[in-house]
Amino acid sequence: MSAIHLYFQVHQPYRLNEFTFFDIGTSVDYFNNTLNESVINKVSEKCYLPTNQLLLDLITQFKGDFKCTFSFSGVFLEQIQKMRPDVLASFQKLVDTGCVEVLSETYYHSLASVYDLVEFGQQVDLHKELVAKLFNYVPSVFRNTELILNEDVLMYCQANKYVGLLAEGSKGLLGDCSPNGVIVPEGYQVEVLARNFELSDEIAYRFSDIKSPLFPLTVEKFADLMLREQQRDCINLYMDYETFGEHHWADTHIFDFLRKLPAFIIANTPFRFKKIEETLGSAPKVQNVKVSGASSWADTEKDLSAWLGNGLQQDASRLIYDLKEPVFASKNGQTIDLWRKLQTSDHFYYMSTKSYTDGEVHNYFSPYRSPYDAYLYYTNILKSLRQTLGVN
């Protein structure tokens, strides 16, 4: 039997206020709490609660034959603890079934693996502690922010004895290899499962696109796509959880698709739904993949350009990590937490100046009028924080 790994990323950032020059040194109200609560409530009703119930129904219906995987950013879990404990309880109920796997990641959904490996490891440890507390679960598989993979991440996962980690199945990573198998990068023992982005994006991005050749996408069409794959050891379908009900509204029939998919797959194909940890260590392996540079699951380039592709982003990221020493010298837990929340990758994503299709996606997620506004508000906040810390 071939495995299907259905993985969902769940994340919401702390969005920032429109922090002006005149707020510097006069306000510490950095986060737009009204907007953040509004988004959490909206997405809870449109996505989290109905999709969680649907998955719970599928788990009950198939008695162990339907399984899936989640990762939750720490900043998302923080917000639902405070604002929507009912949503947290619904996720806990899913994990308690034993059919849902939880992955490890950075607490703050940050780019620390690119800038500061000590900070990166501390954020991963904080995330482990939170997952253990909320779900009584110890993750064995790692998923870095935005599926960023480089040699430092591989070394970290190997040193910390993760059984595997997730990556984007880009040509830059895989070359001519298929994403539908277990990959062991050259020089490492850690196993990597790469996202089949063509199949994943049929659901995540193109499901409601009337210009898509497969529109309307049905479970029959999707199963046929999987059966056409030349290698089929495992099909890795990775997507944002908000795909269901938020990115594609209920009236697109996205919930009907998800509801029907397991029954059709199990009855008509050799594929079976598994947790990722069940496949690692047992599936055939490809061992001639060399990792160089960094890959991610964002945009057409599948690199770091979604967050670090222009001067605004590069300057902002340098400024935040340059504050590490005075932040920790303050010995103030709230200040350290604030500094880490300002590392969340979304802040840099909003500063992207890309055009065409990728630019449209960046604009869809951004709460700001332009990337220049995103940069201005962010750096104004950093200036205010520097004043608080007494940094010139």
The structure tokens listed for 52 are 């969680």
- Do the Cβ atoms of 75 and 109 come closer than 8 Å? yes
- Do the Cβ atoms of 51 and 64 come closer than 8 Å? no
Residue 281: the pLDDT is: 80
The structure tokens listed for 322 are 């340059």
Residue 293: the pLDDT is: 87
Is residue 288 classed as helix, strand or coil in its secondary structure? Answer: coil
- Do the Cβ atoms of 87 and 47 come closer than 8 Å? no
For the whole model, what pTM was predicted? 0.96
Residue 69: the pLDDT is: 98
Residue 356: the pLDDT is: 46
Per-residue pLDDT of the chain (392 residues; tens, 9 = 90+): 799 999 999 999 999 999 999 999 998 899 999 999 999 999 999 999 999 999 999 999 999 999 999 999 999 999 999 999 999 999 999 999 999 999 999 999 999 999 999 999 999 999 999 999 999 999 999 999 999 999 999 999 999 999 999 999 988 888 888 899 999 998 999 999 999 999 999 999 999 999 999 999 999 999 999 999 988 899 999 999 999 999 999 999 999 999 999 999 999 999 999 999 999 987 667 767 888 889 999 989 999 999 999 999 999 999 999 999 999 999 999 999 999 999 999 999 999 998 645 556 656 678 999 999 999 999 999 999 999 999 97
Compute the C-alpha angle 156/160/162, nearest 5°.
95
Residue 362: the pLDDT is: 57
Q: Which of 162, 67, 146 is nearest to 109 (CA)?
A: 146
Please provide the CATH number assigned to the domain covering 2-286.
Answer: 3.20.110.20
Which residue blocks in the chain are alpha helix, DSSP H?
33-43, 49-62, 74-83, 85-96, 112-115, 117-135, 151-159, 171-174, 197-204, 219-228, 254-268, 276-279, 305-308, 311-322, 324-329, 333-341, 345-349, 356-365, 371-389
The structure tokens listed for 73 are 């950013």
Catalytic residues: 146
Altogether, the residues listed in the chain come to a count of 392
The structure tokens listed for 79 are 């917000």
Residue 209: the pLDDT is: 96
The domain spans of the chain are 2-286, 305-389
Expressed in percent and rounded to 5, the helix, strand and coil fractions of the chain are 50, 15, 35
Residue 126: the pLDDT is: 98
